[in-house]
Structure 1
Amino acid sequence: MTRDLPSSVQPVAAYLSADHGRYLLNAAFNTGSTCSICSTPVNHVLDAYCPQCRQLTESADSICDRVGILIYAVQYDTQAYRLVQQYKGNFPGPDHILVMRSLLALGLRGHVECDLKLSGFAPREMGWAVVPSSKGRDTLTTLVRRLAARPETQVPLDVTPHGFEKHVFRPANFVVPPGTDVPRHVLLIDDSWVSGANAQSAASALKLAGAHDVSIFAVARVLKPTYEPTKRFLSEFGQRSFDPSICPWTGNVCP
């Protein structure tokens, strides 16, 4: 059954449901209708992965072990997508920061136990990292550090100074400083997942630096409404009410 949210997170869940639930849409991990890695709608009932994730699983040596997605953000004129874009802009407003902080709190404080259960690691074996912005913005890192139960367990992860390449799987885009003590399990956090190339590159960089297991949590999976599987999925599931108790790691009940 669905696990009750921690008492400290329940007011956040209530705020999101009451003030923003009309446009927030839970990500779904449904066999036969969405990608089992990133929750993107798939073309055929027999497809386990979307095209991007299939390519990564077939060609990449080391990607993350699991992905958690909290909500969908459908391009370009939905409120959820505008929220993500305005938050990521040069001058995000306080309302955008508040909603994003609340979503992070729900996903991280509300469901960090789910990630630990799925990974099989104890809290003492866990650290966290943030996918760094190639534009030098540190808003996400600041928000996550304030929410972290153990801020001191942050694993530093930097954008390479030697030519960052966008939109491709390239672990060399990111670097863990030499001498960093990387824990066995790392929870890697990003604000949005478009193709997954950046987050998966960062996960691979963490593994190359010594992590045994990496989970990626992304607040929003960005969807293209012109993609036919997305059209079908939204026509069937797009009107669901936002449920803050749904686990971002399973799209259903907590593990």
Structure 2
Amino acid sequence: MTDPQLVGYRREIASVMTNPLRIIGVTCVICTREVDAGHQLCVKCRGHRSRFELSGNPGSPSYLTSDLVVPLTYAVQGYQAYTDMYKYKDPVSFEAAQRRLALLAAVFVGAHHSCIDRFTGHPVTCLAVVPSLNGRVGQHPMEKFAELFPLNWHRIQLSPAHDLPSDSNQRREPNPAFYQCNYDLTGHHVVLIDDTWVTGGHTQGAAVRLRNAGAARVTILVFARFLMTNYPPTLEFIRKYDIPHPPYEITICPVTGGVCPQ
């Protein structure tokens, strides 16, 4: 039976958040955006994977990028969840947005954080937040929400590199050289937290940096998977599946898109 407190949390966010869809042949098995016919991965995720492919045994390629991304909600351009992801960083004017994101994290932790362990077969040991590459001074706003996650996920720190390109478009590329990691992560399973996912390049670059530090596995957890209505295939997907109108449900596992793994 679902914890009554989580039910109350769900009630507050249900009309704003909506569960991402995991449908083979319809949504990307990594990031949950729509895919081209005949593909299991979207164009961007295919590109990230091929860029960081490792040579291994014939027929058994492996990749430095994360193959498990867990978005907690879709955020459709023009709707409240999308606005929240831009506004939550203001500590004064947008307390409601911050509260909704905190409740979204609390529901995940209370109902589904162990689903990552069961799905991967590799218990999570560490937690990191993707740092800003825009010269932000002070604590990244996501660090506040990271405090809500399990204490046995040992906190590690990723930092931006000192010699970042001045062009913001270049900084969005998946480049592990944009990050510093001063840990030996050999054998660890790291959950890497970010606020939003559009193309995923920024976050996958950080994931590769963690893998280069020895991490056996990196799971990316993003609060919101953006869906942009100015891109016709995405707009068609939004209309077909009536997103974001289905309200957020606790019982839908964000790791599997259905029932929780056993």
**TM-score scaled by length of structure 1:** 0.87
Map of 2:61 onto structure 1: none
Map of 1:192 onto structure 2: 196
| Matching residue's letter, 1:65 | D
Query: Within the alignment, does 1:226 sit opposite 2:227 as a pair?
Result: no
Distance 1:43 1:231 in 2: 14
The percent identity for this pair of structures is: 29
Q: Is the CA contact 2:88–2:95 (under 8 Å) kept in the aligned structure 1?
A: no
**How far did residue 92 of structure 1 move?**
5.5
| Matching residue's letter, 2:115 | C
Map of 1:163 onto structure 2: 164
Distance 1:139 1:198 in 2: 17
Query: Within the alignment, does 1:140 sit opposite 2:142 as a pair?
Result: yes
**How far did residue 89 of structure 1 move?**
4.6
Deviations, residues 76-98 of structure 1 (Å, cap 9, x unaligned): x2111001110135755222211
**How far did residue 101 of structure 1 move?**
1.0
**How far did residue 108 of structure 1 move?**
3.4
The alignment partner of 2:220 has SS state of strand
The alignment partner of 1:147 has SS state of coil
Distance 2:12 2:189 in 1: 35
Query: Within the alignment, does 1:240 sit opposite 2:246 as a pair?
Result: yes
Q: Is the CA contact 1:116–1:122 (under 8 Å) kept in the aligned structure 2?
A: yes
User: What are the residue-to-residue correspondences of 1:17-56 with 2, within 5 Å?
Assistant: 18-44=11-37, 46-56=38-48
Distance 1:184 1:207 in 2: 9
| Matching residue's letter, 1:58 | S
Count how many residue pairs are aligned between Structure 1 and Structure 2. 241
The alignment partner of 2:196 has SS state of strand
Map of 2:65 onto structure 1: 63
Distance 1:208 1:23 in 2: 37
- Report the aligned-residue RMSD: 2.0
The alignment partner of 1:225 has SS state of coil
Map of 1:113 onto structure 2: 114
Compared CA separation, residues 92 and 203, structure 1 to 2 (3 A)? farther
Q: Is the CA contact 1:28–1:250 (under 8 Å) kept in the aligned structure 2?
A: no
Distance 2:92 2:35 in 1: 35
Map of 1:14 onto structure 2: 8
Distance 1:161 1:50 in 2: 32
Compared CA separation, residues 167 and 120, structure 1 to 2 (3 A)? same
**How far did residue 221 of structure 1 move?**
0.2
Compared CA separation, residues 93 and 241, structure 1 to 2 (3 A)? closer
Query: Within the alignment, does 1:131 sit opposite 2:122 as a pair?
Result: no
What stretches of structure 1 move > 3 A for 4+ residues in a row? Answer: 88-92
**How far did residue 148 of structure 1 move?**
2.9
Distance 1:225 1:197 in 2: 20
**TM-score scaled by length of structure 2:** 0.84
The alignment partner of 2:225 has SS state of strand
Q: Is the CA contact 1:109–1:147 (under 8 Å) kept in the aligned structure 2?
A: no
Map of 2:178 onto structure 1: 173
> Which stretch of the first structure deviates more once superposed, 46-55 or 209-218?
46-55
Q: Is the CA contact 1:27–1:39 (under 8 Å) kept in the aligned structure 2?
A: yes
Map of 1:217 onto structure 2: 221
| Matching residue's letter, 1:233 | F
Q: Is the CA contact 2:9–2:107 (under 8 Å) kept in the aligned structure 1?
A: no
- Bigger share in helix: 1
Compared CA separation, residues 69 and 167, structure 1 to 2 (3 A)? same
| Matching residue's letter, 1:111 | H
| Matching residue's letter, 1:171 | P
